[in-house]
Structure 1
Amino acid sequence: MLKTFLKIFVELTGNPFMSRQLMTVTKSGWSRKMIPLFANVYKVNQEEMAVPLSEYTSLQHFFTRSLKPGTRSVKGDENTFVSPVDGVVNAFGLISDVTDYTVKNKQIVLEEMLGSGEKADKYKNGMYIIFYLSPRHYHRIHSPVTGKIMANWTLGGKSYPVNHFGIKYGNRPLSTNFRTITEIKSTQNNVAVVKVGALNVNSVHLTHPGETIQQGEELAYFSFGSTVILLIENENFQISSALCEGKEIKYGEKIGFISH
């Protein structure tokens, strides 16, 4: 019952007023009293946190926490992709295997998600991987490759929940929610990192200032749990054999490679 209440508190509907109220609450100083409760209910790994639980000043500060230096190691090279987040693998596969380039029972429509058919066509022979971040996960997003940031763009208005019920009953939240897309060109291909918001406030914050980015380097963070979708252009990209739906993964772990 307690966990259900907390999930309702964090994973709200798309009502703009309620979303703003939640943001106000989580930024407030008194919300820090709820941090131990969240950490306990969601079984947050406190050993990985950059500072002790008592030093977080609000729920939002806790949600956007950093990790201790050296907590993660990046296990990739120029031919390898690594996970951009800590989360759960929701789905993955060939984009060309799904009708009209849709996945998850039409919950993602590439043309709609990226903003144009021209952008979507670039990825039609590639792969997709969907990662879900729950309230217990580390909320910072890292680059899966080393490369040049070609563009950042933002689409969408309202943001509905991206949990199981939101995906099942919502109006295509993964392709219509507020979202920020970062396109990175590596030595092998283009990759679109789609960061899907979960509230009617800007819960996606870009943090990387330059044009070039190293594999594993921080790209952005979520104020709240949500979803990251990777679209990988190269048809020679191979998903790691260790990847499976429902798998817990941490950023820096290998998710696939370019075969030659």
Structure 2
Amino acid sequence: MKQSIYRLCIELTNKKWSSFVLRKFVQSRLSKPFIPGFIRTYKIDTDELQDEIGEYPTLHDFFIRQLKGDARIIQFGENDAVSPVDGLLAETGPISDELEIMVKGKAYSVLEMLGADDKASSYIGGRFGVFYLSPSNYHRIHSPVDGTVLNRWSLGRHSYPVNDSGLLYGKAVLAKNYREITELQHRQGKVAVVKVGAMFVNSVEYVNESDIWRQGEEVAYFTFGSTVILLFEKDKFQFLGSKSVPREVKMGEKIGNFIE
């Protein structure tokens, strides 16, 4: 019953008109007075900001804020992968032979997530990592590795919450939400970077149209944040075994290495 009520409420609110109203408000100057309260509510470290608080004309501009150049250190390594975002590394684990991953005790289909057999089959038996961004996080996305862009595509029309309630009661949100996928060719194997939209606003804006991604380089940002999922091929990558999951990570922090 609780699950049914949750889904009904989300279906009623997550429509084109509500998305339009929310987007227009946060992108208007009417939202500027809400920035100080947003900072206090989410305890955002203003010392990291590239600009002064008063220089952000809207709440949206603050939400997609950039950081000072020295705010993050890229732990670069040719055989390493780094976190593409600030957020919670919520789950890591194997991709089953049936192309499923387990997140919060629920199975998600990698085939459904990527949309086609020829795209998903490369990741049978591989590894995955799920990075959840809360409203407090820096919402720009960076490349986890050095790589060449093999393909880029988008799937899905609507987005539902990807918080704990959304993962528990939603309809396979990680595989069904609006998502932008970029597949990279690292010298040690392929990596899929799946950028999952959040409730109301299905927008991932690219800032790098190049076919070459450099580790730590900014490539995109969430207009309203959500989740990034990394997929690695079988026997190609291992996450750090010395650190627990879930845990908070910063963009540029090493999360694992390719197996030579």
TM-score (norm 1): 0.91
Work out the CA distance in 2 between the residues paired with 1:117 and 1:243: 33
Contact 1:107 1:173 in 2 (8 A): no
Q: Which runs of 5+ in 2 are unaligned?
A: 1-11
| Equivalent residues of 2:166, 2:173 under 8 A apart | yes
Aligned residues: 248
* In structure 2, C-alpha distance between the alignment counterparts of 1:224 and 1:99, rounded to whole Å: 32
Identity %: 44
4+ long deviations beyond 2 Å: 12-16, 105-108, 199-202, 241-246
Aligned mates of 1:17, 1:154 — CA distance in 2: 22
Matches of 2:236 and 2:31 in 1, distance apart? 48
Question: Which runs of 5 or more residues in structure 1 are unaligned?
Answer: 1-11
State the SS of the aligned residue for 1:122.
Answer: helix
1:65 is matched with 65
Q: Measure the CA separation in 2 of the matches of 1:214 and 1:88.
A: 23
1:9-48 residue pairs with structure 2 within 5 A? Answer: 13-48=13-48
Q: CA deviation at 1:99?
A: 5.6
Once structures 1 and 2 are overlaid, which stretch shifts more, 21-30 or 193-202?
A: 193-202
Any conservation in 2 of the 1:107–1:167 contact (CA below 8 Å)? no
Change (3 A) 1:15 1:242: farther
Q: Does 1:186 align with 2:195?
A: no
Residue equivalent to 1:80 = 80
Instruction: Give, in whole Å, the separation in 2 of the partners of 1:13 and 1:130.
Output: 26
Aligned counterpart, 2:169: 169
Q: TM-score scaled to structure 2, two decimals?
A: 0.91
Q: 1:243 to 1:175 in 2, by over 3 A?
A: farther
Residues 13, 160 of structure 1: 8 Å contact kept? no
How far, CA to CA, are the matches of 1:166 and 1:144 in structure 2? 26
Distance 1:236 1:210 in 2: 25
Q: Which amino acid is the alignment partner of residue 157 of structure 2? A: G
CA RMSD of aligned residues (A): 1.6
Give the superposition deviation at 1:151: 1.1
1:202 aligns with 2:180: no
Which amino acid in the other structure matches residue 202 of structure 2?
N
Matched, 1:102 2:101: yes
Q: Is the 8 A contact 2:159 2:202 kept in 1?
A: no
Measured against aligned partners, the alpha-carbon deviations of 1:36-63 in whole angstroms (never above 9, x if no partner) come to: 0000010011111100111111010001
1:159 match: secondary structure: coil
Pair 1:101–1:76, CA change in 2 (3 A): same
Read off the aligned partner of 1:150 and give its amino acid letter. Answer: L
Q: Deviations over 1:86-109 (max 9, x none)?
A: 00011101113x865232244521
- Rounded Cα–Cα distance in structure 2 between residues aligned with 1:94 and 1:76: 25
